[in-house]
Structure 1
């Protein structure tokens, strides 16, 4: 009897956890941006609008692309991975602040809230990327990368880095809530300096060497290598992945030993 009871108990616990996670994801998707059912569509389109505002400004000003024939494609390949990273890292942090009352229920833990937001942001980023590609196609621009494996790997690295930095942010705001504003300012500086609007390798070698320590810079170069094989950039793939995994490890340790102690 006990041999069959244990697997059933584990399955029941897993099903209960999945139901909690599913409920958190649905609540997240339905309550953001005013609680309307169209709110999630706004969440998806928000970074898309951000991307094409940037693209539109540079196309309108007729700023030439440093590489390739399409201004829109060049700026999109820089903005999209950077925004994916920044949105994931920021929204994971905001999830805990917005859903903290839910953690008063014994079935809901802070980690559950973080995991639910991570899954939602991954889906959101993927849908946003599809919308960007669809808009580029509508304007007669081919969004297909020359090397799809490299480009997709860069997008996945952006998501992983966003998750890692986001979990660290969760730990920081547990004892310093003002960090949510500080990270906004930090994100703006990173956005400007990461190479979204320029090619970092054209800078003096000393400056370029310093910028390479910024994993977001290397992620943008990673994605662009998938579109421009002759880009000439050297991406340290191990550094980017290890940086993201190390950040995630630190974030999980903070969640275990700091966040849980304060909730």
Structure 2
């Protein structure tokens, strides 16, 4: 294929992604202020609830880590992965009408949904941090690059789950329902509201199987200079799962491309 042909294909793909991005963003926020409020209020409600719980029991999370940012990082990171995975799983069924256009492929809709969700949650995180700063809470990260890299790997893991679940949920709707339910216990197994180092050894090893835990604890380590989470936290482990699920999801899309567009 000539270089002109490659450029043409890339140009078409970029145009498709731009159009899908605008469509997904407008659909996500189509209800106006209510949509923005829900995007902000869902994580905010969890953060406030957990802050109240920790305040009542006077729980010290860890020396050098304030409870507000500690909880915000946990809730924000988990919701980022969960929302990308769940919305990615629904992307194909929600865009079936577009597959009559040869340029639009099922994988495009998942990629764009993950991008839209990442963009929105970056804004949500910034707004929540500004709100905490207005109350006099220090929200400055000690190692911004570690925080950004951890957040990116969580986003990539959510993308990989979304790619894989989109195929499974489209071809096997019953399994899709089970996947949605599985995120509820996963919330409690992802170190959203506690430090892994505070757990008994047996429970700690169980929680560390979860890749999301590694991302959340790494973000906290990047945020608080004095924070020492679990010594076995590894971003390489999270990166392995992120790459693995992305490649699995892409392979499933290639293998079942015809069936996905024929649903």
Query: What range describes the TM-score normalised by the shorter chain of this pair?
Result: 0.7 to 0.9
User: Which residue is equivalent to 2:61?
Assistant: 66
Q: Equivalent residue for 2:19? A: 23
Corresponding residue for residue 80 of structure 2: 84
1:231 paired to 2:224: no
Q: Deviations over 1:19-58 (max 9, x none)?
A: 222111111111235x34x37x825x54432222122223
Number of residue equivalences: 255
Q: 1:21 to 1:231 in 2, by over 3 A?
A: same
Q: 1:107-256 counterparts in 2 under 5 A?
A: 107-228=103-224, 229-234=226-231, 235-256=233-254
Q: Once the 2 structures are TM-superposed, how far is the Cα of residue 7 of structure 1 from its aligned partner? A: 4.3
Q: Mind listing any 5+ residue stretches in structure 1 that lack a counterpart?
A: none
Q: TM-score, normalised by structure 2?
A: 0.88
Q: Per the alignment, do residues 132 and 116 of structure 1 end up closer, same or farther by CA in structure 2, a change over 3 Å counting?
A: same
**Are the counterparts in 2 of residues 73 and 143 from structure 1 also a CA contact under 8 Å?**
yes
Structure 1 residue corresponding to 2:42, chosen from 30, 50, 53: 50
Give ranges in structure 2 of 5+ residues lacking alignment: none
Change (3 A) 1:141 1:206: same
8 Å Cα contact 2:51/2:71 also seen in 1: no
CA distance in 1 between partners of 2:9 and 2:51 (Å): 54
Residues 215-234 of structure 1: CA deviation (Å, up to 9, x unaligned): 01111111111123432422
RMSD: 2.2
For residues 131 and 230 of structure 1, the distance between their equivalents in structure 2, rounded to whole angstroms, comes to: 24
Distance 1:237 1:24, change over 3 A: same
**Alpha-carbon contact 2:50-2:193 (below 8 Å) kept:** no
Q: 1:261 to 1:58 in 2, by over 3 A?
A: closer
- Counterpart CA distance in 2 for 1:9 and 1:193 is 48
* Separation of aligned partners in 2, 1:212 and 1:81: 16
TM-score, reference length from structure 1 = 0.88
